[in-house]
Amino acid sequence: MIDEELQEQIDFWNERVYPILDFDEAFTKWLEFCVHHGVDRSSGQKPPYNVGKDLLASDTNFSIKEDPLVQNKVDTGRCFSAIYDPASELKEEFDSFASEFVDAESKIDLDTCIAYALGIDAESNEKKLYYVKNSKSVEAFTYVNNELIESKNYERDTIVHSIWRCEGERGSRKRTGLIPETDRPTREGLETLSSVNLMYERSRSLAASILNSELFYLDNISQSNERGTALYFD
């Protein structure tokens, strides 16, 4: 089942926001694999495919992140793509992609995961591995030049399920999921964007252009004193 919508999103981001397909060959191949391995995660599916869009690890998302340490710097070459695999039937394929992506031994037993993912922040030369343990916990590892620079754990709030909290060596984060409430996600995203406290006007302008493409909705917002604000699009 080819995910044509995902392919459109990838092409838009690569051509209009940042050339993410030029950053790493293994990641480009992973995106192609994910496009050709689309899954139905509607509410009628069996777990974990029925978790809906409030789970931190959507199938694929794209993001922009403000750098609080460098004036007007916004990282735009950020992308994440996951495969949901509760039976671990695809773990060998993922291992193959991951070993080509990062020259480091896996720290997680894939049999304990319901999903796994590769991610990049191309402008910061970062490569990321994500392991979704269940609908409440995600472990992630960030590498630069094959050196581990951060390991972090995302935990879902036990009361407000749309909120995830993360602790890592580079600071803490709070991610708030946004589920479209109407059939007008672009308008909803723009209304939400107007109330987000962003440091740079470039971030707001770029986010508006992404939403106005009508290929994305505003999926969640990450806020961190140390790492700045990030906007995620699905």
Tens-binned pLDDT, residue by residue, of the chain (234 aa): 678 999 999 999 999 999 999 999 999 999 999 999 866 555 555 665 655 444 445 588 999 999 999 999 999 999 999 988 877 889 999 999 999 999 987 778 999 988 899 999 999 999 999 998 887 889 999 999 999 999 999 999 999 988 999 999 999 999 998 877 778 889 999 999 999 999 999 999 999 999 999 999 999 999 999 999 999 999
> What amino acid is encoded at 234 in this protein?
D
Characterise 116 by phi-psi region: left (phi > 0), alpha (psi -120 to 50), beta (else).
Answer: beta
Stated pTM of the model? 0.92
Nearest CA among 111, 150, 112, 114 for reference residue 129: 150
pLDDT score recorded for residue 179: 77
> CA–CA separation, 164 vs 148, rounded Å?
23
CA atoms within 13 A on the CB side of 106: 21
d(CA 39, CA 45): 10
Q: What is the largest CA-CA distance in the chain?
A: 46
The beta-strand segments (E) located in the chain are 60-66, 74-84, 115-121, 126-134, 137-144, 147-156, 163-168, 171-177, 218-224, 228-233
**What are 224's strand-pairing partners?**
228
- Amino acid 141: pLDDT: 96
Residue 50 one-letter amino acid:
N
Say if residue 88 is exposed, middle or buried (CB neighbours under 10 Å; 0-12, 13-18, 19+): middle
**Cβ atoms within 10 Å of 101's Cβ, excluding its own:** 23
Phi, psi (deg, nearest 5) at residue 32: -60, -40
185: closest CA among 163, 160, 213?
A: 213
Strands (DSSP E) contained in 67-114 are 74-84
Contact 115, 85 (CB under 8 A): yes
Residue 207: per-residue pLDDT: 97
| Residue 108 burial (10 A CB sphere; 0-12, 13-18, 19+) | middle
Both tokens assigned to 171 = 């600071």
The answer to whether 66 and 198 have CB atoms below 8 angstroms apart is: yes
